[in-house]
Structure 1
Amino acid sequence: MRTRRIAALLGAGLLTAAAQLACSPPATAAPAPQDVREQLERIPGMTVVSAAEREGSPYYTLSYRQPVDHADPAQGTFAQRLTLWHKVADGPTVLYTGGYVLDSGPTQLTRLLGANQVSVEHRYFGQSRPTGAARDDWSRLTVWQEASDEHRLTRALRSIERGRWLGTGVSKGGMTATYHERYYPDDLDAVVAFVAPNDADHRGDSGYERFFATVGTARCRAALNAVQREMLLRRAALLPRFADDAATTGARFEQTLGTADRAYEFAVLDQVWNFWQSGDAADCTGVPDARAASDDALYTWSKAHGLRLYRDQTLGEHGTGPYYRQAATQLGWADLAFAHLRDVRRHQDLYQPNSLLPAAMRGSYDPTAIADVDRWVRTRGERMMFVYGQNDPWSAEQFTPSRHDSHRFVAPGANHTASLASLPAGRRGQAVATIKRWAAVKD
């Protein structure tokens, strides 16, 4: 069973939602900043990079030595970046990862609970990468390795943050918190994951197909599909505009998508997904009549509503490439059929994460780890909460919590920014009360 003194990683760092849900922090005084710093410096492998103050409490930027391979520590170490916002030693602590580079903004759970916050950069993202030959060995970028990073870090900080620990994250960060809980269930007292996809086996992506067949109204879906189709039918007229946009920004495609034509088709395929991820059903009123719209009107509207420029500079090892590596090898992806576009596509194998990776980062998909996590969450997970958005494509395939004090909430009409504040009042009250109980925080 999970150790109750250890807490987890909660929170979706949506400051607006956090403000709506904020409560007064515990009254216990925090130790003097110098005392905390001395404790940090005594942790083997921990370096205090800088110390500052945030809202009257000490805030530390840290570096922690982690094994490149937790199964074989002799393979060397790397420095993982993190921050600690320390308020009170006996209060709750939120362990947060955005799943990508370091994000130290206050999470909504930190605000809700008046909690300490530990923010962690995911291995192989940003500056948290090995040096030497290990730097380009992407086989060490796995969900178990990152869970093991957070396990070591959690245990190292227990002597300083002695209250409940709550794990949290948004999207890929929520997935990361869930994986940590699966592999090390004694670390955290609870996990709250926001809009965390659960593609347990991308070969069975009926959930995503069902989402795009039912989201919004039939009229809106038909209009969006027509725009998407027209963008490919008018490729000869619109591709030069796309190429000009790429040239203006210095975008290149040689290392990943290969050509402007392939990059354009990928952007069009992803357009409706992006529309729902960031948009709202109210945006449906502005979808143009695809056949009647001019080339300029069609392209201009698409750029403002989901057409994205995927380029080498933001897809390689220094950008979002590590995420696509994980998607290609473990996390999975939405393998959509695009039946309405079948006769106007040129590149039938394009819509998959390896298309967005340099050759050295590509990999083969193995569903074993994620399928195992899915089963464990459904049958054995304890004190886990999942919050999803009804109109969010990333929420189309969800984690199913067990009956062991675990919960799932879906925010009506919400997109990929779904939060506690997005929930109807009654459901929001239930979620907040549960989180406070898990954190041992009283109103």
Structure 2
Amino acid sequence: MRNKGISALACAGLMAGAAVLGGVTPAAAQAAGESASATDLRERLERIPGMTVVSVADKEGYPLYSLTYRQPVDHRKPHGAGFTQRATLWHKATDKPTVLYTGGYTLAGGTASLTRLIDANQVSVEHRYFAESRPKGAAGDDWSKMTVQQEAADEHRLTRALRSVEKGKWLGTGASKGGMTATYHERFYPEDLDAVVAFVAPNDANNRDDTGYERFFKTVGTKECRDALNAVQREMLVRRDTLLPKFEADAKASGDTFEETLGTTDRAYEFAVLDQVWNFWQSGTAADCPTVPDAKKATDDELYDWSKKHGFSVYQDESLGTNGSGPYYRQAATQLGWADLRFKHLKGVRNHPDIYQPNSVLPAAMRGTYNNSTIADVDRWVKNRGQRMMFVYGENDPWSAEKFTPSRHDSYRYVVPGANHGASIAKLPAAEQTQAVKTIKRWANVK
């Protein structure tokens, strides 16, 4: 699973999850039926064992509580080492529905589309081992506790604690890795939430089989566009001797280093080139195809400058360690999987044939060994036993090439025509959009 683009969108965890659904605008804070005063609510939050109210701010007339919640590093040893997980609660009324919004990375600061749609309270949570939610000391360096199950247990404890305050229906949501995280929570603790709406959530259920991704890159867009992109990608490696110095100059100017992760500028350059077509489709659309230069006729400057604006994304030490996107790559390397593309059109021009995998962009201490069992289990459970689950994907999004298949138990999947990693319900055809919105409101018990 490739994901430098996740920085660009903060993954879709922010981009798609915060997309506008055409939801209702919150009523004034003084409207009839509002819950107890902010002071009373704060006291109730502070009475929850392990919960700390860090601060309270106003957001659109409602209190926004910044919280920390004490969690076990290992939920199998609840009385062992612990850490504080960051969260926020945007509270409107205790009888309104509540949206549990996980970006899958650091603490998301925006409002989820689902929250707008059903005029809900919103709980946002930071994924363990990201930013301020990383254990201190030796426990923070024990990456064996950075797992799907442990994060699901974090969210389970937080959900049960805050359900003592927010009494309405609870719906989980997120996009990309956030959508995956919401799905994993539902699989391991299906009694916590009343429904889940996951956007562009990849499902690499069998990491050894990447035919879904290969098929995507053989069919996305038009043949002319695909051929042009492949030609540019190949030419970037053919002209390595003249383009690598440009890359090195850019890296020096930006203060980028590669010693702890990819190792050399040559490896870092090749990795960025390999990711280029993926990122083009992830963040762009077919409307960008006419901008692709003629690979054979373009000058070095034209080729390099266009690439930097269309998918050539640099992976550097500064953004890949413990304080950056490194925790994601650790999960990809050990549980989530990745797209191990063949790049047949690049035969003969690659210097590092085994580089395109997540351990390549991790410091040595964070690397791990892949185990398929958890994600395969989640895939089977969603397909056969999941209830009230909705998945929204983008037709032209490479992350959507391997999808979750929902069960027949009041669960649904929609694909937004022509959409990239920013696919949302608002972009569905009118009839499907109406159907999806109606389903979500029924789940949330709102009109």
Q: Match of 1:120?
A: 125
One-letter code aligned to 1:247: K
Find the aligned partners of 1:330 and 1:254 in 2 and give their Cα distance. Answer: 25
Q: Match of 1:284?
A: 289
Find the aligned partners of 2:281 and 2:37 in 1 and give their Cα distance. Answer: 47
Over the residues paired in the alignment, what is the CA RMSD in angstroms? 1.3
Deviation at 1:309, TM superposition (A): 1.0
Find the aligned partners of 1:12 and 1:294 in 2 and give their Cα distance. Answer: 36
Note the 1:6-405 alignment, pairs <5 A. 17-18=19-20, 20-22=22-24, 28-405=33-410
Whether contact under 8 Å (1:13, 1:107) holds in the other structure is no
Q: Tell me the number of residue pairs that the alignment of Structure 1 and Structure 2 aligns.
A: 432
Whether contact under 8 Å (1:12, 1:108) holds in the other structure is no
Find the aligned partners of 2:265 and 2:312 in 1 and give their Cα distance. Answer: 14
Find the aligned partners of 2:90 and 2:262 in 1 and give their Cα distance. Answer: 41
Distance 1:138 1:82, change over 3 A: same
Q: Match of 1:4?
A: none
Are 1:410 and 2:415 counterparts?
Answer: yes
Q: Match of 2:428?
A: 423
One-letter code aligned to 1:87: K
Deviation at 1:30, TM superposition (A): 2.5
Find the aligned partners of 2:286 and 2:15 in 1 and give their Cα distance. Answer: 24
3-state DSSP class of the match of 1:161?
coil
Deviation at 1:14, TM superposition (A): 5.2
One-letter code aligned to 2:43: E
One-letter code aligned to 1:251: D
Deviation at 1:21, TM superposition (A): 3.1
Q: What 5-or-longer segments of structure 2 have no aligned partner?
A: 1-12
Deviation at 1:27, TM superposition (A): 5.4
Whether contact under 8 Å (1:13, 1:106) holds in the other structure is no
3-state DSSP class of the match of 1:366?
coil
Find the aligned partners of 2:340 and 2:144 in 1 and give their Cα distance. Answer: 23
Distance 1:41 1:150, change over 3 A: same
Distance 1:16 1:331, change over 3 A: closer
Deviation at 1:342, TM superposition (A): 1.8
One-letter code aligned to 1:285: P
3-state DSSP class of the match of 1:237?
helix
Whether contact under 8 Å (1:223, 1:287) holds in the other structure is yes
Whether contact under 8 Å (1:24, 1:113) holds in the other structure is no
Whether contact under 8 Å (2:15, 2:422) holds in the other structure is no
Find the aligned partners of 1:27 and 1:425 in 2 and give their Cα distance. Answer: 33
Deviation at 1:296, TM superposition (A): 0.6
Distance 1:61 1:16, change over 3 A: closer
One-letter code aligned to 1:313: E
One-letter code aligned to 1:331: L
Whether contact under 8 Å (1:274, 1:305) holds in the other structure is yes
3-state DSSP class of the match of 1:83?
strand
Describe the superposition over 1:165-211 as per-residue Cα deviations: whole angstroms up to 9, x where unpaired: 00000100000000000000000000000000000121101000000
Find the aligned partners of 1:356 and 1:56 in 2 and give their Cα distance. Answer: 43
Whether contact under 8 Å (2:14, 2:108) holds in the other structure is no
Deviation at 1:159, TM superposition (A): 1.3
State the TM-score, normalized to the length of structure 2.
Answer: 0.95
Deviation at 1:19, TM superposition (A): 6.2
Distance 1:14 1:325, change over 3 A: closer
Q: What 5-or-longer segments of structure 1 have no aligned partner?
A: 1-10
Deviation at 1:20, TM superposition (A): 2.7
Whether contact under 8 Å (1:94, 1:168) holds in the other structure is yes
Find the aligned partners of 1:161 and 1:175 in 2 and give their Cα distance. Answer: 24
3-state DSSP class of the match of 1:73?
coil
Find the aligned partners of 2:334 and 2:68 in 1 and give their Cα distance. Answer: 28
Find the aligned partners of 1:57 and 1:427 in 2 and give their Cα distance. Answer: 32
% identical aligned pairs: 69
Deviation at 1:136, TM superposition (A): 0.2
Find the aligned partners of 2:42 and 2:135 in 1 and give their Cα distance. Answer: 26
Deviation at 1:423, TM superposition (A): 0.5
Deviation at 1:53, TM superposition (A): 1.2
Whether contact under 8 Å (1:274, 1:307) holds in the other structure is yes
